[in-house]
Structure formats: C-alpha cells, structure tokens
C-alpha cells in the first residue's frame, strides 16, 4: 500500500502526462478532427492585420498546428472576377480555355478554386480558397496584393487556433502583423466572420 504522499505524487505525474498528451493531440490532429478541442468561449483571439501582412510564408511554418491554423480567404466584394487570377495562375497571358489543362498554379497544393458564373470562358469567374487544402503559405495572397485587386488575405481561423497565450506566429512575424483582439465577434479587419465546426462560411459585413 502506498502512503498519501506517494499517491499524490503519482496522481500529479499521471495528470501531467494526460495534459501533455491532450496538447499533442490538439497540435497534430487534422483540422476536421480537432474542432471538439477548440474552446469557443475564449474572449480573445489571435488575428492578422492585412494592412501589415506581407505574406512572407512564416504563418505556414511557425504555427504549432500542422497544417497551420492560418488560411487564405478571398473577399468576393473586392475580387475583380478576372478570367485569369494572379492568385490562381502564374501566367497572366494564358488563354482562358487552357487554364484548367495547362495553367501553372500559384498555390502549391491547388487550394485556389475557379468557377465560371457568367459569360462563358471569357466571362466572370468566382475564386475561393479551399480551407481543407490551404496550408497558409500566402503565395496566392502575395500575388493578389502585389498585382491584383487585393481581395485575397490571410486570417487565423478561431475554430482552428489553439489560443496559445504566446503565439509562435506573432513572435516570428517580422511586420508585427499578428494581434490579440476581442473574439466575439471576430474582427479580422475585413468584416465579421462566423465559424461553424462542420462547415466554414463567412459574412463580409456591410462595411467590407
């Protein structure tokens, strides 16, 4: 029989291992599997100021989540709906009918999606960023902001962020673009975004 002191020592050791195990599971689990671990009642969240962000790529590599909790977003109210999108295809001179078969993608994981909604192959196109594929590298947002309508930007999804007291991305960011802000509603500098753990969607707000 163990004495009281030894009992508490072993209990504390077991609790410590359980906490470490849970933290490891949260960091390494896939986003789709992780929603149940994320505390939705936090008062603050980490977010990216797009006016300071240069899409340097550190959001992808510095986040403790793998893949990163940072995802690219395309603001449909600012998007020009171009035939050839700077954030989608590297060759801006390519013919529209050759984009799907021959166009070299800007995104290394092909997360930028293109869909025609008016006017056929030379008409208007909708562009979106698939959050299940996006790794937060910022290549699409960088080209869009340097050459396009600046409609693409990076944000830290609150439903994926672990809410660390000290954000590793914020520490690594050379532009100091990561800020801790009130979480409800999430002010991402472009509008109010609402998150559902089963399906990601957003509302740009009246002033976006």
Mean pLDDT per 10-residue run, the chain (208 residues)?
Answer: 48 43 45 46 83 97 96 94 96 93 96 93 95 97 96 93 93 96 58 40 38
Please give the Cα distance from 158 to 68 (Å, whole number): 12
pLDDT at 96: 92
Total-model pTM: 0.70
CA dihedral 76, 78, 84, 86 (to 10 degrees): -110
pLDDT at 183: 67
SS3 117: strand
**β-bridge partners, 52:** none
Alpha-carbon distances of 63 from 55, 59, 66, 166, 190, rounded to whole Å: 14, 6, 7, 11, 22
189: nearest Cα among 141, 156, 167, 142: 156
51, burial (CB in 10 Å: exposed 0-12, middle 13-18, buried 19+): exposed
pLDDT at 1: 53
pLDDT at 184: 59
Determine what percent of the chain falls in helix, strand and coil, rounding each to the nearest 5.
Answer: 30, 20, 50
**Mind giving me the DSSP string for 156-194?**
E-TTT----SS-HHHHH-TT--EEEEETTTEE-SS-EE-
pLDDT at 3: 52
Q: And the tokens for 62?
A: 């510095």
């Amino acid at each position: 029989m163990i004495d009281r002191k030894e009992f508490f020592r072993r209990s504390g050791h077991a609790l410590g291992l359980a906490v470490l195990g849970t933290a490891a599971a949260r960091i390494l689990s896939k986003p789709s599997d992780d929603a149940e671990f994320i505390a939705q009642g936090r008062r603050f969240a980490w977010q990216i100021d797009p006016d300071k962000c240069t899409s340097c790529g550190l959001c992808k590599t510095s986040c403790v989540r793998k893949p990163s909790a940072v995802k690219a977003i395309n603001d449909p109210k600012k998007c020009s709906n171009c035939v050839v999108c700077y954030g989608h295809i590297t060759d801006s001179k390519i013919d529209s009918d050759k984009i799907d078969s021959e166009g070299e993608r800007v995104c290394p994981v092909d997360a930028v999606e293109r869909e025609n909604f008016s006017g056929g192959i030379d008409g208007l196109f909708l562009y979106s960023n698939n959050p299940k594929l996006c790794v937060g590298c910022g290549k699409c947002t960088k080209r869009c902001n340097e050459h396009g309508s600046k409609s693409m930007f990076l944000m830290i999804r609150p439903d994926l962020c672990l809410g660390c007291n000290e954000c590793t991305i914020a520490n690594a960011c050379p532009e100091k673009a990561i800020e801790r802000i009130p979480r409800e509603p999430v002010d991402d500098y472009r509008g109010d975004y609402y998150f559902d753990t089963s399906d990601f969607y957003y509302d740009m707000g009246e002033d976006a």
